[in-house]
Amino acid sequence: MAAIEKSSVSLESVTKVIYRIGGPILFIFGIISCTINLIVFLRKAHRRNACSIYLAAANLVNLLYIFSSMLLTFISIGYDLNLYSRSLFICRFVNYGSYLFDILSSTYLILASIDRVFITSSNALTRQRSTRRLACISIASGTIFWIIFLCHILIFMDIQEISPGYSICYYRAGVYMVMMNYFTLIIKMIAVPLALIITGIWTARNIREHGKSRTVLLQPKGSTAYHDHHRRYLFVRDLEWNVINIYYIPTDF
């Protein structure tokens, strides 16, 4: 028993050291990364592209997620300043913001992936659906939907005492806790990655079909049509890497 307690104390100490040292480093790198991405996607040349608007919105909410959730997590674990359990308002509001910013980021990435399907389509009418107006409407609609849908967190998150002198901010016990666990599993772990995989495969197929078209193959290498096609391919390939970085890095915490 003494050995187990000693191991538990050692593990807790190591965890605190990791969060004290690694937390600020990841926090700074996250801010720098999101800021650079925002600068790039909000450049005048990129603002005309609907997909850049989606990715800029995703980076913005990731930046808010870093400040609202990751910062408090590092402080709570690394420095034993558990602000979540000291105030019911902080408990509910911070968790609401964390869930909201996290799901909004995934929503914007799915919209960006759908837009990639549009811009790589061989159908001219489908390509015309990739517009700034549709991007703004989609972002606004998705944001309003999740703001309303997640309001239950402001009601059913509670401060629960696990042991004497130790409390945590967690879902209200019972049916609500089960529902939220399933929500996280189905939406975040299954639906979002599946949607990104499907749209990614669809985009790759569109690019392959477009590359095989006779219109492109018959163009000389230095022609405008060739360069337009090449730029489109490079742009979509870069967007694939941005989607991977934006989605998987924040969700690891």
Summarised one tens digit per residue, pLDDT across range 23-40 is: 888 889 989 999 999 998
pLDDT digits (tens, 9 = 90+) for 231-248: 555 555 555 555 555 454
Per-residue confidence at 138, pLDDT binned at 50, 70, 90? very high
Cβ proximity of 62 and 56 under 8 Å: no
pLDDT value at residue 120: 85
Max CA separation in the chain (angstroms): 77
- Axis crossing angle, helix 2-41 with helix 224-248, rounded to the nearest 10: 150
Q: Which residue has the higher pLDDT, 87 or 154?
A: 154
Q: Residue 225 pLDDT > 60, yes or no?
A: no
Q: Residue 122 pLDDT > 90, yes or no?
A: no
Q: Of 247, 113, 250, 103, whose CA–CA distance to 187 is shortest?
A: 103
As a whole number, mean pLDDT of residues 8-37 equals: 81
Q: Residue 219 pLDDT > 80, yes or no?
A: no
Q: Residue 126 pLDDT > 70, yes or no?
A: yes
Q: What residues form DSSP beta bridges with 160?
A: 168
In the block, tokens 């990614």 appear at: 200
**Mean model confidence pLDDT for the chain:** 80
> What percentage of the chain exceeds 70 in pLDDT?
78
pLDDT digits (tens, 9 = 90+) for 178-204: 999 999 899 988 999 999 899 888 888
pTM for the whole structure: 0.80
Q: Domains plus CATH for the chain? A: 7-252 (1.20.1070.10)
